[in-house]
Structure 1
Amino acid sequence: MADALPLMKSAFIQLSEGRARVPVRTNLNVEEHHGDSLIMPVFLPDQARTAVKVVSVYRGNPSVGLPLIHGVLLVLDAETGRPLSLMDAEYLTALRTGAASALATDCLARRDAKTLAVFGTGVQARFQVRGIHQVRPLETVWVCGRTPRNVASFVEEVSDELDVPVMAASPREALANAELVCTATTSDRPLFETSMVRPGTHLNAVGGYRPDMTEIPLDLLASATVVVDHRASCLAEAGELVQAEARGFWQPSDVHGELGEIAAGTLKGRGDQNEITLFKSVGNAVQDLAVAAFILERAEAMSLGTRLSF
């Protein structure tokens, strides 16, 4: 995670400066099986690599003992198009998503924030906590989940790993104490009410990636400073933004800016201690390639991996 943070900063700056090439991803919706397969191509000039990620999100998988997310990432040489590596993208996706929230938290949250509420108990939620703990050493974590067994597993694993008190809580209990919030679910309805959010809170909303999905109450956008990973992608795909605009709570011109602009220092982040800030991410392929290029470089240096001939 510590290695991933500077990689996210570089990737988002390249994205916001228009140097990265990221076509709009294709979403193959498999409605009858409650899943989506996303095809995500990208070119990062600083890494001299291109890549294509195929990631599937099947919402019924956890109930049958399978991961919510499956994925692979193909990395190619940008100069020749030669395939360089094929990687498991399940871990990669969780790592880069957690690192992006960590970067956003470092750019937008109060410097003294040390309490976190996390919604969700899966792999993504775990990496959210790991990422946040890198930039704001946490004193307490509250977790909100629908399945008691999964909540108990989350509490035990994360508290042992980070040596931080982790407690199960209702949304109201968690938000009454939290200065930081992460939502990492596939919910199609808000997970809490706007009135529960304290002044000065920073939120990372990373679970929703379709216009019909929303984790954040729509009226919260009217009072929050909204920062996105990529303006065009979020305005097309982020359910919170799409639905809030349709309901008249918010409009696209209200986007404060992109994370890369703040990371580069060309745009101010938090304005004051009582401001509510919201980072909305639908995920971007620059995140995947930035981390994958680093992993590939390390693997080659350490002679790791299996060599294939095409």
Structure 2
Amino acid sequence: MNTTPSEPAPAIFTESDVRAAVGMPDAIVSARRAFLALAQGQAHSPEPWHLDTPDGSVHVKGGALDGAGTFATKLSSGFPGNADRGLPTSDGFTAILDADTGRIRALLLDGGYLTELRTGAAGAVALDLLGPPRTDTIAFIGTGGQVRHQIDGAMHVREPSTLLLIARNWRRTTELADWTRHHYDVEVRAQELDGSPIDADAVVTVTAATSPILTRAQLRPGVHVTAIGSDSPGKRELDPAILLAADIVAVDDPRQSARIGELQDIPQADLAAATSNGSLTTLGTLLHDGAPPWTATRTSVADLSGTGAQDAAIAEIVGNLLLH
């Protein structure tokens, strides 16, 4: 006779449950916590697992933060062509596990929402740390689902008067412009991605590009650039000259950025020199020590390849809200 006490089955929450529980303000708090934990050695976040397919990719990430009651594992997919099918470009779910027993406490069938949200929050943290205090114009390159979260995150930390939307597909650009005007009381302008100069205080690249879409010549002095799209080998959005000329390059995870992010094409000697002189750093270090004062001629870059620590931090917030 089996006398082992039964345990309740894991709670299952839908995307609507998760969306109702957490939004950008909580996500920004979780991103700050994750980056600080990474910088202080208080996060355990292994390298992500990737599966590339002809039409998209799947990523598995996970992480645990010291002192947290839970940890998390996340699967997410990204299929850019879904936009032409009228389908979401991302999907996924998160498993929340008990930190003491390893038992699954909840499954969040969030459809990739948490990945999109925490990535938008990471962009907000980077912009808040490194962007000009007065940011009149922010440019966004790309038209996928994530760019909407980058816009939302930016609007939580800055009050721009103009948002500049840049892409190659004019139909998608105008659709994004309509969405932006509906959600935010700002001037919205559209520009074709054709190599022409970008008149903006900050530029956020949100694409699946495998060759640079942004060059140094397009940028004005004092600009801040956040690169979101490079999250697997072969992807890159920025001309290496942008990173090599930047006064500050801040990444979420240096080893990961060198393997799958924008640093993967930078020579090791240049990376070593930048680390030595302090121009290559992490967002967590800047949060802990403070970012250098902004100047009108300083150029900065943030490379966000996405970490399991971010997934663990936002999952803990969601778990606390939904389970208790």
Per-residue CA deviation, residues 146-204 of structure 1 (Å, 9 max, x unaligned), is 22221111111112211111111134798542001111110112113211101110111
Find the residue that maps to 1:85 and give its secondary structure.
strand
Q: Which residue, 61, 71, 75 being the options, matches 1:50?
A: 71
Matched, 1:227 2:250: yes
Structure 1 length-normalised TM: 0.89
Per-residue CA deviation, residues 260-307 of structure 1 (Å, 9 max, x unaligned), is 111112x54455331110000111111122112112222234xxxxxx
Q: Separation in 2 of the partners of 1:288 and 1:260?
A: 16
> In the alignment, which residue of structure 2 is the partner of 1:209?
231
Structure number with the bigger relative contact order (C-alpha 8 A, sep ≥ 6) is 2
Q: Which residue, 273, 290, 293 being the options, matches 2:313?
A: 290
> In the alignment, which residue of structure 2 is the partner of 1:306?
none
Structure 2 length-normalised TM: 0.85
Aligned residues: 295
> In the alignment, which residue of structure 2 is the partner of 1:145?
167
> In the alignment, which residue of structure 1 is the partner of 2:31?
8
Q: Separation in 1 of the partners of 2:197 and 2:40?
A: 35
Q: Trace 1:116-131 onto structure 2 (pairs within 5 A).
A: 116-131=138-153
| Offset at residue 83 of structure 1 (A) | 0.9
| Offset at residue 115 of structure 1 (A) | 0.9
> In the alignment, which residue of structure 1 is the partner of 2:19?
none
Which residues of structure 1 form unaligned runs of 5+? 302-310
CA-atom RMSD in angstroms: 1.9
> In the alignment, which residue of structure 1 is the partner of 2:100?
79
> In the alignment, which residue of structure 1 is the partner of 2:218?
196
> In the alignment, which residue of structure 2 is the partner of 1:60?
81
Find the residue that maps to 2:302 and give its secondary structure.
strand
Structure-2 change in CA distance of 1:53 and 1:217 (3 Å): same
Structure-2 change in CA distance of 1:213 and 1:173 (3 Å): closer
> In the alignment, which residue of structure 2 is the partner of 1:244?
266
- Aligned partner of 1:125: which letter? V
Q: Separation in 2 of the partners of 1:4 and 1:57?
A: 20
Do the aligned partners of 1:117 and 1:174 also contact (CA within 8 Å) in 2?
no
Identity %: 29
- Aligned partner of 1:65: which letter? G
Find the structure with the greater CA-based Rg: 2
Structure-2 change in CA distance of 1:77 and 1:174 (3 Å): farther
Which residues of structure 2 form unaligned runs of 5+? 1-23
Q: Which residue, 263, 275, 286 being the options, matches 1:262?
A: 286
Residue range with higher mean Cα deviation, 170-179 or 132-141: 170-179
| Offset at residue 133 of structure 1 (A) | 1.1
Q: Separation in 1 of the partners of 2:198 and 2:72?
A: 42
> In the alignment, which residue of structure 1 is the partner of 2:177?
155
Q: Which residue, 103, 113, 119 being the options, matches 1:91?
A: 113
